[in-house]
Amino acid sequence: MERSIDAQLDELKKLILIMGGHVEKALFEVSSAIISKDHSRFKKVFELEEKINEAHVQVDNFCVQLLAKQSPVAKDLRFILSIIKINTDLERMGDQTKNIAYTAQEYLVRPALQQIQWISKMSESVSKMVHGALDAFVRGDVELAQKILLMDDEVDEFKNKVISDLAQHMKKNSQDVEAALDLIVMARNFERLGDHATNIAEDVIFAFTGKDVRHGGIYG
Amino acid sequence: MERSIDAQLDELKKLILIMGGHVEKALFEVSSAIISKDHSRFKKVFELEEKINEAHVQVDNFCVQLLAKQSPVAKDLRFILSIIKINTDLERMGDQTKNIAYTAQEYLVRPALQQIQWISKMSESVSKMVHGALDAFVRGDVELAQKILLMDDEVDEFKNKVISDLAQHMKKNSQDVEAALDLIVMARNFERLGDHATNIAEDVIFAFTGKDVRHGGIYG
């Protein structure tokens, strides 16, 4: 007979995956809105962000109930604590995506810059990261989680290239300062999204190995 | 007779307060380093950030032990879950302060901008926020926690003023683009620090009222 906690942990997993799906969808919508200059798509981003917030509270309450009623220990406890942290990161990813949408709405009324092209690449990379991190989570695939940590370095490097390119552009085209600043803000939001996906990957490693890889693992 | 869990919760409170003290100290050191152009103070910021990381892992482990051994419910459970979240926010505040130090080191070798003056004000505001939020936490002062939420609006508003001022400056002084970008990055880091202090205040409200004020409280 299956322990009742297992069924509940499975339900939690499903909730987290649905929430992760909303984040991926929001990332796709926001970059599509920007690239196609289709303002109507921003509405979808805001709707998805609300769904993410709703799921956030739902998952949190579920975890509290589970801890109170089942008093889980060892692996199950680590698993639930990881979900609490992953849940926080996914919620912040929703916030970040909404922030990108706000900045993008301002950006789209300014003269277009060709540098906007990077947005698809960053959006895809972050989407892959969060998908991979959650995949690693449900499968308990620590090796995959470790790969996600490396992907974050690429996102950071790419963001640095985008910013230094835009700085050069601003120096020569003072009329584009506001538009370039919008792009820089968005690039930094994507960097933060990558950081949150990295946090999730670290939580996966902790959930399945009990090993703390944060801070270079020196205190773990 | 005091329940053994009470003594342990008190110890947790102390650990979190020490950690918060490190964050405040790091904020003070980083803004002092910038204002006085004293590079040696950055070292202190990095040392404090390491202490914060160490405390982060210590608090997390303490919470896991407590959950596993005491199986707390209701108020105690909410308290421990809040500590887990506050701990995450304090750790990220350490990261943000370190990031400010990195950017400041680059900024200080460029031509100085008078706009750097805001740094003391932002640093003080954020320091007050984290101090107030943790004070509210140890005293169970929900009213104080609510005041912190309002302070964050001021930090955000101030940051927006700083950024639009710097955008105007860049348009007229293309030689200052890099320095101005450094200041914008730091202003945004302070904004994030304010966000984390806000998260802590929200956790305090949850810990002592069971009320979820995140997302405007609509799902709580």
Tell me the CATH number at B52: 1.20.58.220
* Over residues A138-164, mean pLDDT: 95
* Over residues B167-171, mean pLDDT: 96
Query: Does pLDDT of B127 surpass 60?
Result: yes
Mean pLDDT of chain A: 93
The three state secondary structure string of chain B is CCCHHHHHHHHHHHHHHHHHHHHHHHHHHHHHHHHCCCCHHHHHHHHHHHHHHHHHHHHHHHHHHHHHHHCCCHHHHHHHHHHHHHHHHHHHHHHHHHHHHHHHHHHCCCCCCHHHHHHHHHHHHHHHHHHHHHHHHHHCCHHHHHHHHHHHHHHHHHHHHHHHHHHHHHHHCHHHHHHHHHHHHHHHHHHHHHHHHHHHHHHHHHHHHCCCCHHHHCCC
* Over residues A196-209, mean pLDDT: 92
* Over residues B1-13, mean pLDDT: 85
Would the CA dihedral through B153, B155, B161, B166 be positive or negative? negative
Q: Is B174 exposed, middle or buried (0-12, 13-18, 19+ CB in 10 A)?
A: middle
Residues B22-47: tens digit of each pLDDT: 999 999 999 999 999 999 999 999 99
pTM of structure: 0.92
Domain containing residue A54: 4-217
Interface test with A, best of B52, B96, B170 (most A CBs within 10 A): B170
- Per-residue pLDDT, A207: 86
- Per-residue pLDDT, B212: 75
ipTM for the predicted complex: 0.88
Q: A57 vs B214: CB contact, 8 Å cut-off? A: yes
- Give how far B72 is from chain A: nearest CA, Å: 7
- Per-residue pLDDT, B1: 46
Q: Is B81 on the interface with A (CB under 8 A)?
A: yes
Q: Is B110 on the interface with A (CB under 8 A)?
A: no
Contact B137, B148 (CB under 8 A): no
Residues A24-35: tens digit of each pLDDT: 999 999 999 999
Tokens of B14: 């102390």
CA distance readout (Å), A98 to A189, B35, B88, B190: 10, 34, 22, 20
- Per-residue pLDDT, B218: 64
pLDDT band (50, 70, 90) for residue A74? confident
Residues A105-135: tens digit of each pLDDT: 999 999 999 989 888 899 999 999 999 999 9
Query: Does pLDDT of A201 surpass 60?
Result: yes
Residues B50-81: tens digit of each pLDDT: 999 999 999 999 999 999 999 998 889 999 99
- Per-residue pLDDT, A218: 63
* Over residues B76-103, mean pLDDT: 96
Tokens of A175: 């009329």
Query: Does pLDDT of B205 surpass 80?
Result: yes
Query: Does pLDDT of A19 surpass 60?
Result: yes
Question: How many Å is the Cα radius of gyration of chain A?
Answer: 19
B177: nearest CB among A167, A175, A215:
A167
Total of domains in chain A:
1
The values of phi and psi at residue B108, to 5°, are -70, -15
Q: Is B214 on the interface with A (CB under 8 A)?
A: yes
Query: Does pLDDT of A44 surpass 70?
Result: yes
Q: A219 vs B57: CB contact, 8 Å cut-off? A: yes
- Per-residue pLDDT, B2: 54
Smallest CA-to-CA distance from B16 within B75, B91, B73, B95 is with B91
Q: Is A67 on the interface with B (CB under 8 A)?
A: yes
Q: B172 vs A174: CB contact, 8 Å cut-off? A: yes
The DSSP string of A76-122 is HHHHHHHHHHHHHHHHHHHHHHHHHHHHHHHHTTSPP-GGGGHHHHH
* Over residues B106-116, mean pLDDT: 93
Tokens of A54: 């709703």
- Per-residue pLDDT, A220: 54
Q: Is B7 on the interface with A (CB under 8 A)?
A: no
- Per-residue pLDDT, A20: 97
A171: nearest CB among B163, B177, B219:
B177
Residues in chain A with CB shorter than 8 Å from the CB of B212 are: 57, 60
pLDDT band (50, 70, 90) for residue A57? very high
Tokens of A87: 């849940």
pLDDT band (50, 70, 90) for residue A213? confident
Mean pLDDT of chain B: 93
A167: nearest CB among B178, B188, B220:
B178
Chain centroid offset of residue A20 CA:
8
Q: Is A219 on the interface with B (CB under 8 A)?
A: yes
Query: Does pLDDT of B148 surpass 80?
Result: yes
Return the percentage of chain B with pLDDT > 90, whole number: 87
Residues in chain B with CB shorter than 8 Å from the CB of A215 are: 53-54, 56-57
